[in-house]
Structure formats: structure tokens, C-alpha cells
Structure 1
Amino acid sequence: MGTASEGATPGFLVWRLSMTWRVAVDRAVAPLGLTHAQYSLVASLYGMQRSGLRPSQRRLADHTGLEPLYVSKLARGLESAGLLERTRDPKDPRAVQLALTERGRDVTEQAIKVVQGLLRQLLEPLGGLDSPRARAFTRELATLLDAPLDPFSQNSEHEKEQS
């Protein structure tokens, strides 16, 4: 562990890792005209489309963990860049469905390859992408992501203990 990490809390380490990852992805996909947030959106959309889905902006927001308003803003920018198309959902005129354009698929495929290379670098200290340690790490991250976080529930529990 690096000297900056010694004695660090798990929260600090998660934050540092997420920031390190975001910056690395931003730099890696910038030559393709994408930001990390845009990459997250198009890569998720790419995977969903490969599964036969044409998700709404809301569903994509839920999938990526991004705020719906931010997904809308990103989608408009990606649409202007010719990477995706936004259409009204015929079943729900309030909903907007998203789909990658042919150019969007090409750019996304390139970006996925670049980010996969970064992921291999990141997981090398754990034995590589397919190592037992990396698989266990992935399971642990998924467990943490599934844990509900409500900052107000902890305060009310703490207040009850103080009473």
C-alpha cells in the first residue's frame, strides 16, 4: 500500500480509487471525443442494445447511477455529436428512448477496448482481470454497491442511542 494510503479509512480509499479511475478513463477516452461520464453512458447503452433493449433515459440513469437530468444533458450532447439518437417512446410519450448510431457504436467499441486495457492495468496487482482475487474484489464491490446508503437513517439511529 502506498504511503498516502497507510491508515486511510475504507471510505477514503474508495473515493481515491474512484477519482483515480475517473481521471484515467477521462484521459483515455478524450482522443475519441468522450468524457468518462459520456463513456459510462454509451458503454452501458451499447451493452443494453446488445441484449436487445432500447432503454429510456430513465432506465439508463438507473443503470449507470447517474442523475436522470444529467443523463438527459449527456444524451443531448451525444446526439449533437452524432453518437446517439433520442426518440419518443411510442408506449409512453413522456419517455425518451436512446439508441447508438452506427458512428456511436464504432466509437463505443473503440472506447471499450481502451478502457478494458486500463482495467487490465488496474487489476494487475490482484493477479489480472480473470484472477480469483479480481473476481473476489468484483463481488465485494457489488456487495458494497447493493448496500443501502441513507445518511439520514444513521443520524436518527445515532440520535436514538444518545437519548
Structure 2
Amino acid sequence: MALTPGESPGFLLWHATLRWQRGITAALAPLGLTHVQFVLLACTWWLNGQGEHPNQQTLAKQAGTDVKMTSQVVRTLEQKGLVAREVDPADTRAKRLRVTEAGAALAPRAIAAVEQVDAEFFRPVPREDAVTLLSRLAHPDHPDHPEA
């Protein structure tokens, strides 16, 4: 028996994702960031805060983004003065990333804006339920999941 669109988890996820993305886009626009720029800036800022100066490959892995696209977006963040790329002393072919003073000031503001959108978007669902479901969907083979 065929599912109606309202009974299809994939179709509902599609619509939910579109609504969430519209909220994120609207929240980040006044800050001059796209969603991908935000994710890469926030990940770099967070990693720097952990004492790490990641290369683009490490950043892409952390963010879950394509390495080539990460390189292009990092270049844009560099042009905006939010991220600096520095030669890695251990491997002169690699570039280490660090947020600039401007990037360090913008990242927490952008994170707060995105967290506000998330809080409103996920308000109808208990936080623990949302995190559990999305974690299982994002990482189905994780050993903490009983079905893995």
C-alpha cells in the first residue's frame, strides 16, 4: 500500500528541513553569512578554542562537508577577514586555520542566532527526543545505538 505524502518520513523530513533552513538563512543574513560559511566558521572557532588549528581536511571532517567545497568557502571566509590560513610548520603544503579577531567576535553571535532558530524550530519536541532521533539518523552505525 502506497504512503500518502503526509505518511512518508522522507517527505516530511524534506519539508521540515526546508523550513529549518529558511529560518537559519534568515537568522544569518544580517550577519553576512551563508549557512555553510557559518558552519565552517563555527567549527574553526570551536576547534581553535580546543587548542587546535585544523587544516582544511580536518575542518571538512568536523563539519561533514566536502573537502573541495570547504576549501572554496574557507577562501571566502578569509576574504571576509574572518579566518586566516597559515602554513603548517610540520607540512608546508598544508594550511592551518584560525579565526581572526573579527571571526572570533562574529562566531558566538552567529551561534546564538542559530541556536535561537533551533530552539524555536524544535520547541514542539522534547530536546532529548530530538537529539536521540537526529543522532541515530546522522550516525546509524554508532555503537551507542542498540540497532548498530
Q: Fold-level match, TM-score > 0.5?
A: yes
Equivalent in the alignment of 1:135: 128
SS of residue matched to 1:70: helix
* Aligned counterpart in structure 2 of residue 147 of structure 1, from 125, 137, 140: 140
Output the CA distance in 2 between the equivalents of 1:23 and 1:41: 19
Equivalent in the alignment of 2:60: 61
Q: Is the CA contact (8 Å cut-off) linking 2:57 and 2:67 kept in structure 1?
A: yes
Cα 1:15–1:90 shift into 2, 3 Å: farther
Q: Does 1:6 align with 2:6?
A: yes
Tell me how large the CA RMSD over aligned residues is: 1.7
Quote how far apart the aligned CAs of 1:38 are: 0.4
SS of residue matched to 1:125: coil
Output the CA distance in 1 between the equivalents of 2:89 and 2:11: 45
Identity of aligned residues (%): 33
Deviations 1:12-62 (A, max 9, x none): 223322222222111111111100110111111121111111111101111
The one-letter code matched in structure 2 to 1:6 is: G
Q: Which runs of 5+ in 1 are unaligned?
A: 127-132, 149-163
Q: Does 1:92 align with 2:91?
A: yes
Cα 1:49–1:70 shift into 2, 3 Å: same
Deviations 1:71-101 (A, max 9, x none): 1001111101100101121112222211100
Equivalent in the alignment of 1:40: 39
Output the CA distance in 2 between the equivalents of 1:16 and 1:64: 23
Equivalent in the alignment of 2:106: 107
Q: Is the CA contact (8 Å cut-off) linking 2:55 and 2:95 kept in structure 1?
A: yes
Q: Which runs of 5+ in 2 are unaligned?
A: 142-148
> If you compute each CA radius of gyration, which structure gives the higher value, 1 or 2?
1
TM-score, scaled relative to structure 1:
0.78
Equivalent in the alignment of 1:154: none
The ranges of structure 1 where at least 4 consecutive aligned residues each deviate by more than 4 angstroms after the TM superposition are none
TM-score, scaled relative to structure 2:
0.85
